[in-house]
Amino acid sequence: MIRTAALALLLGLAAAPASAAEKDPHTGFIIAPGWETVRNNCIACHSASLVTQNSGSREHWLSLIRWMQESQGLWAFDADTENTILTYLSSNYGPKEDARRPPLRPDQRPENPYSQPEQTN
Ligand code: HEC
């Protein structure tokens, strides 16, 4: 009995590596607090990948939600639900500070081969 339980515990631990974030196989959402709320509210109109490939601060996500509510028919959320969604999105799909290199300085940029000598419009 005890050995079976110990084995099950071992297998359970082995099956859940601490490193890589676990993802829902159907939507690809990272499994973390609030993910079901996001699944229940965010994949009715478009695929989950539209959500998961986006990233940003809480303000970024809030402004996206407001935009969808104002112009895309997204329903209103009560304060708790909205808070859950924003916390989930900003902690699991937060700003990618290191993913982008800063823009080149003008003197580092190549000459634009398409630039026109004179602009007529
Ligand atoms: C009522 C329909 C609807 C629901 C529900 C909905 N969206 Fe959207 N969303 C849209 C539409 C329409 C677009 C524009 C799709 C396109 O451009 O192809 C969009 C676009 C997006 C985009 C891409 C924005 C961009 O800049 O390209 C993201 C990210 C997004 N939604 C996240 C969410 C999240 C998070 C939720 C849940 C809180 C959600 N959506 C729920 C309608 C919805």
13's tokens? 């631990």
Which residue has the CA at smallest separation from atom 36 of ligand 1?
Answer: 42
| 20 CA to centre of ligand 1 in angstroms | 26
Q: How far apart are CA 3 and CA 12, in angstroms?
A: 14
pTM: 0.75
Average pLDDT over residues 44-52: 97
Q: What is the CATH number of the domain that holds 46?
A: 1.10.760.10
Ligand 1 atom closest to the CA of 65, numbered from 1: 38
Q: Which domain holds residue 43?
A: 25-97
Q: How many angstroms separate the Cα of 72 from the Cα of each of 37, 43, 65, 76? A: 19, 13, 10, 12
**What tens digit of pLDDT does each residue of 51-109 get?**
999 999 999 999 999 999 999 999 999 999 999 999 999 999 999 876 667 778 888 88
Q: Is the pLDDT of residue 6 over 80?
A: no
What's the total number of domains in the chain?
1
Does the CB atom of residue 46 touch ligand 1 within 6 A?
Answer: yes
What's the alpha-carbon Rg for the chain, to the nearest Å? Answer: 22
Q: Please check whether residue 9 lies inside any domain of the structure.
A: no
